Amino acid sequence: MSTQTSFVTPAARLQAYASTADLAVSPPSARKASDRVRQAAASRDLRSEPGPIRFIIIALALSFLTIFVVLPLVVVFASAFSKGINAYFAALAEPEALSAIKLTLLVAAISVSLNLVFGVIAAWAIAKFDFTGKTFLITLIDLPFSVSPVISGLVFVLLFGAQGYWGTWLQANNIHILFAVPGIALATIFVTFPFVARSLIPLMQEQGTQEEEAAISLGASGLQTFFRVTLPNIKWGLLYGVLLCNARAMGEFGAVSVVSGHIRGETNTMPLLVEILYNEYQFVASFAIASLLAMLALITLVVKTVLEQRLDEGQTPEGRSE
């Protein structure tokens, strides 16, 4: 279950990011200045602590990290390679494993690309227009974060299941949503919806609409304005959202588990297969798949750090004081 913990972190980080960015109504220059003051104050306070206390604090933090983050990661890779490298690759080459990897990639591709479009549209609407019900919409966007993933899956069972609202009609027309790719994709889209929108809203709100207005007054059409002005301004934030969205889409367990039906070689995604194999005592196979997810998490972390730097750089330019 180590993969689960590593996928919770980006979400928490994103929420923290979004809420700090929400507060950023003050001009960037002022904010930066106050940040610097705060940082300076913080580091001075830290340095004034006596040596032993400093040591204890750092040791505590490090050992906590080791026990809860590093150790599980090590265990994943150690177990995956416990029967040698050949067994590892043999486990990954199993048809069931391959099918799970393929399905995971397919579902991630569908849900990330749709959430990219929906997320940009939602963020655009919220950041650039005023309308009644705006606050409600913002709350609604956060709903998938606050609802248990199992509930998110169950909603789709209630809608599309045989006993659900549209079940009979779907059956009569031979349309398969539940226990098939569409259901898994739907559940994943629901769970991962907030990532793109949430990472764009504060950014777009801060940037305002002036550059768009300037572009339009210079004769640009709506599409030209979006692709030449809006999109370049939000590209790092957008990539950031897509990255986290993708990590969650590939790692989602709860919601997908409810709608998938666990048909072997057909509707099992990687996280589902990890659990099944583990329950069947196929530890090497189970941890081999888990190691892939863990690697995805590590790559995500690295890319995320790079993107965060880009985002910080992107926010400074207009903040220069005269």
Partner 1 sequence: MTIEVKNIVKKFGSFAALDNVDLKVGKGELLALLGPSGSGKTTLLRIIAGLDWPDAGEVTIDGEDALGHGASERHVGFVFQHYALFRHMTVFENVAFGLRVQPRAVRKDEATIRARVKELLDLVQLDWLANRYPSQLSGGQRQRIALARALAIEPRILLLDEPFGALDAKVRKELRQWLRSLHSEIHVTSIFVTHDQEEALEVANRVVVMDKGRIEQIGTPGDVYDNPATAFVHGFIGESIVLPVEVAGGSVRLGGRPLNIAADGAASGASKLFVRRHDMQIGPAGTGSLEGAVRHVRSFGPIQRAEIALSGGEGKTVIEIDAPRDRELQAGEIISLQPRRYRIFAVQE
Please give the residue ranges that form the binding site for partner 1 (CB under 8 A). Answer: 210-211, 213-221, 224, 228-229, 232-233, 316-318, 320, 322
Q: How far is the CB of 148 from partner 1 (least distance, A)?
A: 40
Closest approach, Cβ 35 to partner 1, in A, equals: 18
Instruction: For the CB of residue 197, give the shortest distance to partner 1 in the complex, in Å.
Output: 22
| Residue 148, both tokens | 């248990």
Nearer to partner 1, 90 or 220 (CB): 220
Radius of gyration over every alpha carbon of the chain, rounded to an integer in angstroms:
23
Q: How far apart are CA 29 and CA 40, in angstroms?
A: 17
CA separation (Å) from 156 to 85, 179, 211, 258?
Answer: 40, 11, 41, 9
- Which residue number, 52 or 219, has a Cβ lying nearer to partner 1? 219
Cβ of 230: how many Cβ atoms within 10 Å?
20
- Asked if residues 198 and 141 have their Cβ atoms less than 8 Å apart, the reply is yes
Cβ closest to partner 1, residue 101 vs residue 220: 220
Q: What is the largest CA-CA distance in the chain?
A: 74
Closest approach of partner 1 to the CB of residue 214, in Å: 4
Residue nearer to partner 1 on the CB measure, 61 or 218: 218
Looking at the Cβ atoms of 201 and 215, the one nearer to partner 1 is 215
CA distance 133 to 183: 29
Nearest residue to 126 via CA among 196, 192, 191: 196
Look up tokens 């090590």; give the residue: 74
Q: How far apart (Å, rounded) are the C-alpha atoms in residues 242 and 311?
A: 14
Smallest distance from partner 1 to CB 234, Å? 10
Query: Which CB sits closer to partner 1, 230 or 286?
Result: 230
Q: Quickly tell me which residue has 């830290």 as its tokens.
A: 46
* CA–CA separation, 229 and 210 (whole Å): 11
220 versus 303: smaller Cβ distance to partner 1 = 220
- Cα separation, 211 vs 234, whole angstroms: 12
DSSP class per residue in 275-289: HHHHHTT-HHHHHHH
CB of 136: closest distance to partner 1 in angstroms? Answer: 20
Question: Which residues 6+ apart lie within 8 Å of 254 measured at CB?
Answer: 148, 149, 150, 152, 153
Least spacing, CB of residue 115 vs partner 1, in Å = 24
Six token digits for residue 12:
């928490």
Closest approach, Cβ 27 to partner 1, in A, equals 10
Closer by beta carbon to partner 1, 84 or else 222: 222
